[in-house]
């Protein structure tokens, strides 16, 4: 498949316009030198433009469209209290003139209204803080929200649900076409792409790669250890994308390279020393801000893989900045070494 054929195919799906696209692709020469070699380019998906941007904007263009097609007037979401997805969903709902109802986990960041939680409120979302252990246990709360809203005569749609992931991933199949075109324009041939991903972003890039027949390695650094097998979950998303688009591309486990080695002992939502060091390095070498839970850990992973020789010093690596910077403000103590 060519780039224009893939774009045309995805172009047939319902979509709303939310992002500032294409996002820039920039060289990081000082970071490359500091980590000992590979040429690093950064794909600035922190610049997608919607209320401080991030990877969810590309996904929401497709997932929200699924709801609006069904006449939704309230969009439901839910995740950790500092969720970037919830913040971008709140902003998208405001922009599109529908309501947003969120159920977020009562966690170690939900007592202080800072970062994304503050922005959810400013953007007009209703936020319910739910006492469950993990975000995987929010389904009941989202269903309860759905039932309550229906009983009030509303037409709610749950955007953040597994069945929507193949649609969200379409945004990243398109991002793959952007990356390849931008690399070509810069005269670069990316050997490896590194990014933080746990649900839609990496599957989208993998889909794009396979549909276009390119051999760039794509390494996903997971921000969370799910209770289920992530490779299997990605393959479900990938095969469903083929179904939805009516194309003959099939996927197997070897297509998915994703590691949870950099989540850290305390798990999702907690900083790691390596992640915080990586984010300071990016900030001080390139003037680009990452954050603690996703992109800092992903860069720590990239640095470690270079150190181990798994990524060669002669390679050209695209690091996808998936956003999340507003969460920095909820982690000031951790970043200043007070915790
Ligand atoms: C900043 C950031 N990076 C990466 C991810 C992972 O994205 P996904 O789960 O869609 O692959 C998220 C969301 O969970 C995020 O907020």
Q: Are residues 246 and 316 in the same domain?
A: yes
* pLDDT in the model for residue 72: 98
Q: Out of 161, 176, 196, pick the residue that ends a domain.
A: 161
Instruction: List, in order, residues 6 or more apart from 214 with CB less than 8 Å away.
Output: 180
Phi, psi of 208 (to 5 degrees): -60, -45
* pLDDT in the model for residue 37: 87
> Ligand 1 centroid vs 167 CA: distance in angstroms?
15
Q: Out of 161, 195, 220, pick the residue that ends a domain.
A: 161
Q: Out of 144, 161, 178, pick the residue that ends a domain.
A: 161
Q: Determine contact, residues 135/80, Cβ cutoff 8 Å.
A: yes
CATH code where residue 240 lies: 3.40.50.1100
Q: Are residues 174 and 258 in the same domain?
A: yes
Question: Which residue do the tokens 């920039």 mark?
Answer: 26
Q: Are residues 117 and 258 in the same domain?
A: no
Q: Are residues 242 and 141 in the same domain?
A: no
Cis peptide leading into 22, omega within 30 of 0? yes
Question: Which residue do the tokens 């609006």 mark?
Answer: 68
Which structural domain range is residue 221 located in? Answer: 3-54+164-335
Q: Are residues 188 and 256 in the same domain?
A: yes
* Positions of the chain with pLDDT under 50: none
What pTM does this model have? 0.97
> Ligand 1 centroid vs 263 CA: distance in angstroms?
13
Of 42, 46, 52, 55, which is best to mutate to test ligand 1, by the most ligand atoms within 8 angstroms of its C-beta? 55
What letter would DSSP give residue 43?
E
> Ligand 1 centroid vs 222 CA: distance in angstroms?
9
Determine the atom of ligand 1 nearest the C-alpha atom of 324: 1
Question: Catalytic one among 4, 32, 81, 83?
Answer: 83
> Ligand 1 centroid vs 294 CA: distance in angstroms?
7
* pLDDT in the model for residue 339: 62
* pLDDT in the model for residue 93: 98
**Catalytic site includes residue 83:** yes
Q: Are residues 223 and 330 in the same domain?
A: yes
Determine the atom of ligand 1 nearest the C-alpha atom of 198: 9
Nearest to 110 by CA among 137, 77, 81, 80: 81
- List, chain by chain if needed, residues with CB within 6 Å of any ligand 1 atom: 54-55, 84-85, 196-202, 223, 294-295, 322-324
Q: Are residues 255 and 130 in the same domain?
A: no
Q: In what order do the strands lie in the sheet with 156-158?
A: 126-130, 99-105, 74-77, 156-158
Q: Are residues 203 and 65 in the same domain?
A: no
Q: In whole angstroms, how far apart are CA 60 and each of 86, 91, 104, 211, 299?
A: 11, 11, 18, 22, 25
* pLDDT in the model for residue 135: 87
Q: Are residues 208 and 331 in the same domain?
A: yes
* pLDDT in the model for residue 26: 98
Instruction: List, in order, residues 6 or more apart from 208 with CB less than 8 Å away.
Output: 6, 172, 173, 174, 175, 176, 177
Q: Are residues 11 and 136 in the same domain?
A: no
Q: Are residues 46 and 172 in the same domain?
A: yes
Determine the atom of ligand 1 nearest the C-alpha atom of 165: 10
> Ligand 1 centroid vs 56 CA: distance in angstroms?
7
Q: Are residues 98 and 37 in the same domain?
A: no
* Number of domains observed in the structure of the chain: 2
Of 199, 205, 237, 269, which is best to mutate to test ligand 1, by the most ligand atoms within 8 angstroms of its C-beta? 199
Pairing of strands 126-130, 257-259: unpaired
């Amino acid at each position: 498949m060519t780039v224009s054929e893939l774009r045309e195919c995805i172009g047939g799906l319902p979509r709303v316009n939310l992002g500032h696209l294409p996002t820039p692709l920039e060289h990081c020469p000082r970071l490359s030198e500091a980590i000992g070699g590979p040429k690093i380019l950064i794909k600035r998906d922190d610049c997608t433009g919607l209320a401080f941007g991030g990877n969810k904007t590309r996904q929401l263009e497709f997932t929200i469209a699924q709801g609006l097609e069904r006449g939704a007037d309230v969009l439901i979401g839910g995740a950790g209290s500092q969720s970037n997805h919830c913040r971008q969903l709140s902003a998208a709902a405001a922009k599109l003139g529908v309501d947003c109802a969120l159920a977020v986990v009562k966690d170690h960041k939900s007592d202080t209204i800072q970062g994304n939680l503050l922005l959810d409120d400013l953007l007009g979302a209703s936020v319910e803080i739910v006492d469950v252990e993990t975000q995987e246990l929010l389904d009941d709360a989202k269903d309860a929200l759905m039932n309550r809203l229906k009983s009030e005569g509303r037409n709610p749609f749950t955007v953040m649900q597994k069945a929507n992931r193949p649609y969200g991933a379409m945004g990243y199949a398109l991002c793959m076409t952007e990356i390849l075109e931008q690399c070509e324009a810069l005269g670069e041939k990316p050997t490896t792409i590194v990014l933080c991903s746990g649900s839609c972003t990496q599957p989208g890039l993998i889909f794009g790669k396979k549909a276009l027949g390119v051999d760039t390695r794509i390494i996903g650094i997971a921000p969370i250890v799910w209770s289920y097998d992530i490779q299997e979950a990605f393959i479900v998303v990938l095969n469903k994308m083929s179904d939805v688009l009516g194309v003959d591309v099939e996927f197997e486990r070897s297509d998915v390279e994703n590691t949870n080695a950099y989540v850290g002992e305390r798990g999702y939502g907690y900083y790691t020393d390596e992640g915080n060091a990586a984010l300071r390095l990016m900030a001080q070498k390139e003037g680009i801000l990452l954050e603690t839970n996703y992109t800092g850990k992903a860069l720590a992973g990239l640095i470690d893989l270079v150190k181990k020789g798994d990524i060669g010093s002669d390679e050209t690596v695209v690091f996808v900045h998936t956003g999340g910077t507003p969460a920095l403000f909820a982690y000031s103590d951790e970043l200043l070494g007070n915790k």
